[in-house]
Structure 1
Amino acid sequence: MAGTHSISEFYHGRSIFITGATGFMGKALVEKLLRSCPGIKNVYILIRPKRGKDVSQRLEELLASKLFEKLKRQDPDFSKKVIPVTGDILHENLGVSQKDEERVINDVSVVFHSAATVKFDEEMKLAVEMNVVGVNRMIQFCKKIKNLEVLLHVSTAYCNCNVKYIDEKVYEPPLAPHKLLDACEWMDGDVLNTLTPKMIGNRPNTYTYTKAIAEYLLYQNKEELPVVIFRPSIVGASWNEPVPGWVDNYNGPTGLLAAIGNGLLRVMKGDFYGTSDIIPVDIASNMMIAVAWDNVVYKSDELKVYHCTTGQMNKFTWGQMERMSHECFMKNPVNTVARIPNPRFTKSYVWHEVCVLFDHVLPAYLMDMMMWVSGKRPIFVKIQDKLRKAVGSLDYFTQNEWVFSNKNLDDLLNKMTPEDRKTFNFNVKSIHWPTYMESYCLGIKRFVLREELSELSKARQTLKRLQRINFAVNVFLFIAVWRLLINRVAVARTLWNFLLGWAIRIFKRMPKVAKSS
């Protein structure tokens, strides 16, 4: 039976088509396919020109990433297998040329579609265009591929976050896909923005709303296409491959951790004991590769959905993130630390707002005043405004938790050989969270903030200086407040005199140290 073939053997001689390859998950997927499936024939990646750079320049930048250094040592000529396809999911027929289209539809048998907007607060019109219309265009394009064996669509575990127990199935959408597509054709952006709160209903944002509708669009085409849906939870830095802690953007938990490391984010809304369902990007890419293999080798008449989550198999809480991130950044501080890292999650709205005022807003104004006095441009108030908006988009996910079914994940692991389970490891029970968090925080220093680890000793000295300043300021404030109370309140004055007298008596009774001759 074909099922006896290893995953690497399955991809031998096959050509793959990937959208979203320049994104975080897409890069990890491309690298893993080329490194662990060396017999792969071609990897076609859809790339659009951007910011004055043509497709060849963007491909060169992609492959120059530190993510590919291990692969370069293993196969210096790996880039010959990576073929750029100029196009954009925002255009009809993906905007590809006739020549590129012919190559893809004649050569490709496996498609990974991960292109999407991942901004939670994206305007409805663009969110629909990217996440629904783009999927529809992808469906129509894939119907032309002559030997297509599987189309893997990357969704999100939170597309049905309006329910607490989420099964591995496609749910009824909040609105029929064709109705949404029709509405977006004649409504302008302002009208859609006005209607957005009513449209998304009990979902938190346009991202989860459009992702749910896109899934149903795929479900409607399951008879004509070999579709499978992959739902990762909150994707974070790599666990092991190809380097621990690799991350290249500020999305999701990375932005939170970077702000915690800088000392700019000290209080967040969230359930201390709630599940922080983070999935390392290499675990997700390993599982995507295995899922595609599974749905070709073990064909199913049903459209299968796979959850890639950690909460029910290896729970990690926001409270653990709070403590571990603090420990990591105190041990390995960032060079640009502005205040001592001190993150806190709270479910209390009142306490959160009080802490934001005294721990975020007032210090930002104070630091900007110091910047202005020293002749520098004030920046901290603007940073706090942006930070509060970014963190606010995550409030819904840090204050709630869900139960995700993982039956298909378990079944997939059981079908794999011991060697494949090692090469394409996505067993989340193997994650040791303290080790992962330390790698994650160091990865933010290295790959996002672009700081050299050789500068750690200097960063530690800066942090120690901040600790001394913080201690001195606290002592000054305590004495100032206490003196104010002494002058105003008789009881406080009496207590102060008692403590002072007691301290003097203790000091006088201490034995004197003999002078050495």
Structure 2
Amino acid sequence: MKAMNSDVMGIPEFYSSKSVFVTGSTGFIGKVLLEKLLRSCPNIGNIYILVRPKKGLDINARVKEMFKSQLFDRLREEQPGFKEKVIPVNGDITEPGLGLNQNDRELITSAVSVVFHSAATVKFDEPLKLSIQMNVLGVKKILELCHQMKKLEAVIHVSTAYCNCDKEVIMETIYPPPLLPHNVIDAAEWMTDDVVEMLTPLIVKPRPNTYTYTKAMAEYILQKERGLLPCAIIRPSIVGAALLEPYPGWVDNYNGPSGMLIAIGKGILRTMHGNTDATCDIIPVDLATNLIIAAAWSLAIERPSNVPVYNCTTGQLNRLTWGQMERASHKYFLKTPVNRPIRIPNPYFTSSKVCRTIYLWFDHYLPAWIMDVVLWLQGKQPQMTKVQNRLWRSVKMLEYFTSNQWVFTSQNVLDLHQKLYAEDQQAFNFDVTCIDWPHYLENYCLGVKKYVLKESLDTIEDARRALNRLYVIRRFVKVIGFFIMWCLIMPRLAIARRLWHYLISLAVKILHRIPGFARS
């Protein structure tokens, strides 16, 4: 694929003076997208962000709180007045008409040129009704709004690479769902919640959860109801910490691999059902957002008649395995441990469900029970068993992805990268072959410590001392455990007694051969 003609504007020039509408701007991808647009397209027009009140905070308070994040530190330094371009709009994708009032609707439809729709529920176990409301009907409402926009040039829908995880090879195309979305939507509306919950496993099968199922429905709805709207779909795989921008290792949530790494670092998670040779398809969040921004540019410039789909993945171009993730997390959490680890970070992925179950009971629940007994004896509230129960509810949902792998084609992504000018390839990089996985994973482990757990790197020496104490405790417990087992076995087995006496006599003989020992 050849690069664009020299008379075609680059990405920053394309966004110059253009107004943008973003949903999901308070989410992980949405925040990074917002920061990148403001920083790398400094002449961009207004950015309207759809925000709903939450936890007693109105939309302005939520946006103010969001801007306190370290994510925006670099932007604050380079462009102190960036907040003036961000205009929060009161709304909710679950409400009719997105919950927009008439003034905001008229403002958006008359001014906006590019729409980024990233709002969704990412909970794997979300009830089907709510998942449909947010992930499917939300797309319908966005399209209804876009049909009213007078200056619209591009609509980017953020999906997931796993929306078609019932297939082994996933192309950059939209697949028809097994059930027509309208039938599922209608059925979910008249059925009671109990009936929908009971039927959900049958409806989503062979997909593992409501998230992947409704994301596939959303793509199909977009294709059928877009009309002549210029739309494209971005399918990120497992979105992880930033590779470079705005800071290496930046992450701010417990979702996906971040929560898993924190649990490993704390020593809470030691065993998972997973294939160490399978692909761990992590995509850094900054590379994903760069692709989103570039896809809108390409869509507006070329105006294709179809809906381009971009599989934003790493597995076929720069492969990482779950075995590499297992070893890296062990290595880097020993090098830079988290504060107050409960146990030594020592993750183990096994493809055997039997081994996983054995390890679950003896390496997770049994130590949790013992710790709870110790806490109870100290007059404290037992909590480790509850922690393990919550952890394993999350782990079970991840194990489908750690135990399987897929082949994602990515020719559209490669072609798009070739279209960019050299300076845009650098400024909006989404070339996954540039990822150095050991370096990235080390920054990721540091990132969850620094940005998610809010732990200062100045505390690393204290954390290492805490880890050394755990090593001493582990050795002591092993010795005591061996001694107890030996005491239980030896009186009952003659061979054990003979072996014990043989070892003692052998030790005495060795000591007597040491010069000076017999005379002493």
Q: Give the TM-score taking structure 1 as reference length.
A: 0.97
Residues 2 and 297 in structure 1, CA contact (< 8 A), matched pair in contact too:
no
Quote the residue 2:322 is aligned against: 318
Counterparts of 1:443-482 in structure 2, within 5 Å, are: 443-482=447-486
3-state SS, counterpart of residue 125 of structure 2:
coil
Q: Compared with structure 1, are the counterparts of its residues 2 and 96 closer, same or farther at alpha carbon in structure 2 (3 Å cutoff)? A: farther
- Conserved 8 A contact 2:91-2:99: yes
Partner of 1:294: 298
Aligned to 2:393: 389
- Aligned match of 1:266: 270
Aligned residue for 1:65?
Answer: 69
Equivalent position amino acid for 1:47 in 2? V
Any stretches of 5+ residues in structure 2 without a counterpart? none
> Is contact 1:3–1:298 with CA below 8 Å preserved after alignment?
no
Instruction: Check whether the contact 2:271–2:359 (CA below 8 A) recurs between aligned residues.
Output: yes
Matches within 5 A, 1:92-241: 92-241=96-245
Q: Determine whether 1:12 maps to 2:16.
A: yes
Q: CA–CA distance in 2 between the matches of 1:91 and 1:451?
A: 39
C-alpha contact 2:230 2:304 (8 A) present in aligned 1: no
Matches within 5 A, 1:372-451: 372-451=376-455
Report the number of matched residues.
513
Matched to 2:466, the amino acid is T
- Amino acid aligned to 2:124: F
What residue is the counterpart of 1:50 in the other structure?
A: 54
Q: Distance in 2 between matches of 1:251 and 1:157?
A: 16
State the one-letter code of the partner of 2:204.
Answer: I
Q: 1:36 aligns with which of 37, 40, 44?
A: 40
How much does 1:329 deviate? Answer: 0.8
Paired position in structure 2 for 1:368: 372
Letter in 1 for 2:159: S
State the TM-score, normalized to the length of structure 2.
0.97
Query: What amino acid is aligned across from residue 425 of structure 1 in structure 2?
Result: N
Deviates more, 1:52-61 or 1:214-223: 214-223
Q: CA deviation at 1:273?
A: 0.7
Cα distance, 1:511 vs structure 2: 4.5
Q: 1:485–1:62: structure 2 CA closer, same or farther, 3 Å change rule?
A: same
1:27 maps to which of 13, 31, 35: 31
Q: Distance in 1 between matches of 2:490 and 2:506?
A: 17
CA distance in 1, matches of 2:23, 2:208: 26
Residue 259 of structure 2 corresponds to which residue in structure 1? 255
Cα contact 1:174–1:213 (8 A) shared by 2 = no
| Whole-angstrom distance in 1 between the partners of 2:340 and 2:207 | 37
2:90 is aligned, of 83, 86, 91, to 86
8 Å Cα contact 1:174-1:209 kept in structure 2: no
| Counterpart secondary structure, 2:164 | coil
Q: How far apart, in 1, do the equivalents of 2:62 and 2:411 lie?
A: 39
Provide the rounded CA distance (Å) in 2 between the counterparts of 1:474 and 1:351. Answer: 21
- Deviation string for 1:377-428 (max 9, x for gaps)? 1110000000110000111111100000010011011111121111111111
**Deviation digits for residues 95-138 of structure 1 (CA, Å, limit 9, x no counterpart):** 11111111111111000000000000000110011011111111
Paired residues of 2:140 and 2:225 also in contact (CA < 8 A): no
Equivalents in 2 of 1:471, 1:3: separation in Å? Answer: 69
Asked whether the equivalents of residues 124 and 189 of structure 1 are also in contact (C-alpha less than 8 Å), the reply is no
Q: Is the 8 A contact 2:340 2:466 kept in 1?
A: no
Q: Point out the more displaced range, 183-192 or 267-276.
A: 183-192
Indicate which of 485, 488, 497 corresponds to 2:489. 485
Match of 2:426, as an amino acid? K
In the alignment, is the contact (CA less than 8 A) between 1:18 and 1:45 conserved in 2?
Answer: yes
Q: Look up the SS of the partner of 2:249 in the other structure.
A: coil
From 332, 335, 342, the counterpart of 2:336: 332
Tell me, in whole angstroms, the C-alpha distance in 2 between the residues paired with 1:417 and 1:85.
34
Q: Contact 2:291 / 2:430 at 8 angstroms: preserved in 1? A: yes
**Residue 358 (structure 1) aligns with:** 362
C-alpha distance in structure 2 between counterparts of 1:260 and 1:306, whole Å: 32
Aligned-residue offset at 1:2 = 7.5
How far residue 218 of structure 1 moved from its aligned partner, in angstroms, is 0.5
How far apart, in 1, do the equivalents of 2:425 and 2:379 lie? 58
State the 1:10 CA deviation: 1.0
CA distance in 2 between partners of 1:255 and 1:386 (Å) = 12
In structure 2, relative to structure 1, the CA distance for the partners of 1:3 and 1:250 (3 Å cut) is farther
More deviation, 178-187/448-457 = 178-187
1:366 Cα deviation (Å)? 0.4
Shift, 1:499, TM fit: 2.1
CA contact under 8 A between 1:257 and 1:325: conserved in structure 2?
yes
Match for 2:407: what amino acid? V
Q: Aligned partners of 2:258 and 2:179: how far apart in 1?
A: 32
CA distances 1:475-498 after superposition (whole Å, capped 9, x unpaired)? 111122123222221222222222
What SS does the aligned partner of 2:162 have? coil
Per-residue Cα deviation, 1:224-247 (whole angstroms, up to 9, x for no partner): 311100000000111111011111
Q: CA deviation at 1:309?
A: 0.2
SS at match of 2:372: helix
Contact 2:270 2:347 in 1 (8 A): yes
Change beyond 3 A, Cα 1:119–1:88: same
Q: Deviations over 1:254-294 (max 9, x none)?
A: 11111111101000011011111011111101111111111
SS in 2 for 1:507: helix
SS in 1 for 2:342: coil
C-alpha distance after superposition, 1:315-341 (max 9, x if no partner): 111111110001111111111310111
Q: Contact conserved, 1:271 with 1:398, CA < 8 A, in 2?
A: yes
Q: Which amino acid aligns with 2:397?
A: S
RMSD: 1.2
SS in 2 for 1:31: helix
- Shifted more, 296-305 versus 384-393: the winner is 296-305
Q: Give the aligned residue type for 2:472.
A: R
Query: In the alignment, what sits opposite 1:505?
Result: 509
Structure 1: gaps spanning 5 or more residues: none
- Code of the residue aligned with 1:218 in structure 2: it is L
**CA–CA distance in 1 between the matches of 2:252 and 2:129?**
27
Taking the aligned partners of 1:418 and 1:510, their CA distance within structure 2 comes to 74
Name the CA distance, whole Å, in 1 between partners of 2:268 and 2:352: 20
| Aligned-pair CA distance for 1:3 | 6.3
1:88 to partner: Cα distance: 0.4
Taking a change above 3 Å as real, the CA distance of residues 3 and 47 of structure 1, as seen in their structure-2 partners, is farther
Q: What displacement does 1:139 show?
A: 0.9
Instruction: Say if 1:306 and 1:406, in contact at 8 Å, map to a contact too.
Output: yes
